[in-house]
Amino acid sequence: MSDWSAGYVSDIGYTYGVYPELNPLRVRLAFLNAGLVFPDNACSCELGFGQGVSVNVHAAASGSEWHGTDFNPAQAGFARELAAASGANAHLTDESFHRFCARADLPDFDFICLHGVWSWISDDNRRVLVDFIGRKLKVGGVLYVSYNTQPGWAALAPVRELMTRHYASMTVPSAGTGERIGQSLDFAGRLLATNPGFVQANPMVPARMELLKAADRSYLAHEYFNRDWHPMSFPMLAEWLEPAKVDFACPATYVEHIDTVLVTPEQAQFLKTVGDPALKQLAFDFMINQQFRRDYWVRGARRLGTLERARLLREQRVVLVISPDDVVYTVKAGQIEVGLNEAKHRPVIEALADHRPHTIGELETACAGAGLTAFQTLQAVFLLAGTQQVQPAQDAAPAEGAKAACFRLNEHLIGLAEHGGDISYLASPVTGGGIPVPRIHQLFLLGLMRGHRSIGELVAFVMALAGRQNVRLHQGDQPAPPGEQAALLERHATDFLQRRMAVLQALAVIP
């Protein structure tokens, strides 16, 4: 492994995700729900941006200034390509944390983001980041940190050590990272199949191993096989961040704001007795077997007055980003999936069915006829926003100002879909962030851009692409038989043109 990588996997690229917690609009709604003053969104920074899809989507869609670095030059190069395509105000480099954080030409930031970084770097790099946050985060600014935590990792941590030891000592470097990871997964699986005492004490581990075997090798490389890998409890993270003068604001995972959704009444009552805030978060993590925390911290937490909070919440705009018929009434947090009461959430969906932004105040009025109180409407909006099916919406002026950059970025991403399916998001100026758009839909959009208007023409266009790349459509988890490919594509194209395309136009993902 090269010296510049500092023990981090560098020979297999990071995944191409868009992380909604990095959307400043999401910060605003989370802070409003927690009763906190939220910052302006003028200047943001992402440290360790991976392939840079997320930072570029948020730079284009928010219209604000973004800076960032990722040590991997190949990833930084791709990120800069996206920035050039959109023309957004994004300044991205391949500097190490040491060099980037020491620069004297960087502005102060309203928002600093660390997604998938903290648990996978050395203590030396953590000290560099804490110092940077202390110097460059504005008063009132927000820090986002996601990290692996206990107790959710308690059972799998020994398995991770088993795999990385095998990877280092029993595989051949020339085989390539992906193949070596496969060999280490196989080794661990064969050991667990002997039914050791560890499995008897931790019976869920074999099922978790099956999920790992099916996971993308790029994800596994960066999640499990770096030299540095340190799950950290909430109190320990709080100690690390203390020199930066930031306070815990609230979870970035919306459902975690509402204890009664995730814990039993007995557990909720227990949490009320815990006076130490850090210990309370740790106790909550035990209750939901938390494995990965996403948190917002703030430099100088200030409470909103009751009336001011209520006014700002009623003015907050939200929008439905999928078809009402496709809404799923479940939400996940930690290791828990919770079913939502459809009767209390369906009125909100129906009021948002036109896919245009509505204020929460408007929704309160609309849902009152269905018997929902203002509080029930707000809670329903918040939980649905936690599923990403409903998202916060920008005001009209900044949304209009971000359209051109989003259209340019999306046109570029759609063009990339012709040769690969790594990026499954496009930018929306309405939401200020990313909208899931699978590759098949991006290929339909590419066909439309090239003048193929009818369903038959779109099917023929995508079939030709799939044939050249030896790609087959799937039905569920299995490839569809060759003779059924065209019929399956026709169903997809019909559904896309009749339902999904109108939603993408309403969200200004496409003109």
Quick check: 70 pLDDT over 70? yes
Same-domain check for residues 409 and 277: no
Model confidence at 472, pLDDT cuts 50, 70, 90, reads low
Alpha carbon distance 470, 468 (integer Å) = 6
Q: What is the pLDDT of residue 478?
A: 66
Q: Is the dihedral of CA 100, 103, 105, 106 positive or negative?
A: positive
Question: How crowded is the C-beta side of 312, counted as CA atoms within 13 Å?
Answer: 17
Contact 236, 19 (CB under 8 A): no
Same-domain check for residues 68 and 97: yes
Top mean-pLDDT range of 110-114, 228-232, 473-477: 110-114
Quick check: 468 pLDDT over 90? no
Number of domains within the chain: 4
- Total Cβ atoms within 10 A of residue 371: 10
Alpha carbon distance 52, 75 (integer Å) = 7
HEC assignment per residue over 173-210: HHHCHHHHHHHHHHHHHHHHCCCCHHHHHCCCHHHHHH
| N-terminal to C-terminal alpha carbon distance within the chain | 45
Same-domain check for residues 288 and 161: no
Same-domain check for residues 116 and 186: no
Q: Which domain holds residue 202?
A: 157-224
Q: Which of 298, 332, 353 is the last residue of a domain?
A: 298
Q: Is 92 helix (H, G, I), strand (E, B) or coil?
A: strand
> Is 282 a member of any domain?
yes
Same-domain check for residues 138 and 57: yes
Same-domain check for residues 134 and 60: yes
Contact 10, 2 (CB under 8 A): yes
Model confidence at 4, pLDDT cuts 50, 70, 90, reads very low
Q: Find the angle CA(331)-CA(374)-CA(293) to the nearest 5 degrees.
A: 30
Classify residue 326 as exposed, middle or buried by CB count within 10 Å of its CB (0-12, 13-18, 19+).
Answer: exposed
Q: What is the pLDDT of residue 139?
A: 97
Same-domain check for residues 26 and 125: yes
Tokens at 217, concatenated: 């090798």
Average pLDDT, the chain: 92
Give the closest residue to 293 by CA, choosing from 434, 154, 144: 144
Quick check: 213 pLDDT over 60? yes
Q: Which of 298, 330, 347 is the last residue of a domain?
A: 298
Give the closest residue to 45 by CA, choosing from 123, 118, 135, 107: 107
Quick check: 2 pLDDT over 50? no
What are the Cα distances from residue 239, in Å, to 114, 129, 236, 282, 409?
A: 17, 14, 5, 13, 40
Model confidence at 35, pLDDT cuts 50, 70, 90, reads very high
E-state strands within 325-482: 330-333, 336-339, 358-359, 390-392, 425-428, 433-436, 474-475, 478-479
Provide, rounded to the nearest whole percent, the portion of the chain with pLDDT above 90.
Answer: 80
Same-domain check for residues 356 and 263: no
Q: What is the pLDDT of residue 82?
A: 98
Q: Which is more confident, 150 or 446?
A: 446
For 86, residues 6+ apart whose C-beta sits below 8 A from its C-beta are 56, 59, 60, 405, 406, 408, 409, 412, 427
Quick check: 8 pLDDT over 70? no
CA dihedral 277, 282, 287, 293 (to 10 degrees): 100
> Is 307 a member of any domain?
no
Tokens at 132, concatenated: 């940077």
Same-domain check for residues 421 and 494: yes
CATH number at residue 236: 3.40.50.150
What is the arithmetic mean of pLDDT over 194-219? 91
E-state strands within 364-493: 390-392, 425-428, 433-436, 474-475, 478-479
Quick check: 386 pLDDT over 50? yes
Tokens at 22, concatenated: 């990095």
Beta partners for 66?
A: 44, 90
Q: What is the pLDDT of residue 173?
A: 87
The per-residue pLDDT for range 326-359, each reduced to its tens digit, is: 999 988 776 678 888 999 999 999 999 999 999 9
Residues in the chain: 511
Contact 422, 52 (CB under 8 A): no
> Is 469 a member of any domain?
yes
Q: What is the pLDDT of residue 55?
A: 98
> Is 4 a member of any domain?
no
Q: What is the pLDDT of residue 335?
A: 67
Quick check: 473 pLDDT over 90? no
Same-domain check for residues 369 and 242: no
The per-residue pLDDT for range 282-300, each reduced to its tens digit, is: 999 999 999 999 999 999 9
What is the arithmetic mean of pLDDT over 489-509? 95
Q: Which is more confident, 405 or 485?
A: 405
Same-domain check for residues 171 and 146: no
> Is 309 a member of any domain?
no
Beta partners for 248?
A: 297
> Is 213 a member of any domain?
yes
> Is 477 a member of any domain?
yes
Q: Which is more confident, 250 or 475?
A: 250
Quick check: 388 pLDDT over 50? yes
Same-domain check for residues 357 and 376: yes
Q: Which of 207, 224, 241 is the last residue of a domain?
A: 224
Give the closest residue to 28 by CA, choosing from 36, 16, 20: 36
Model confidence at 5, pLDDT cuts 50, 70, 90, reads very low
Model confidence at 219, pLDDT cuts 50, 70, 90, reads confident
Q: What is the pLDDT of residue 92?
A: 98
Contact 243, 22 (CB under 8 A): no
Which helix (DSSP H) or strand (DSSP E) does residue 466 occupy? helix 455-469
Q: Is the dihedral of CA 368, 373, 376, 381 positive or negative?
A: positive
Q: What is the pLDDT of residue 164?
A: 93
> Is 7 a member of any domain?
no
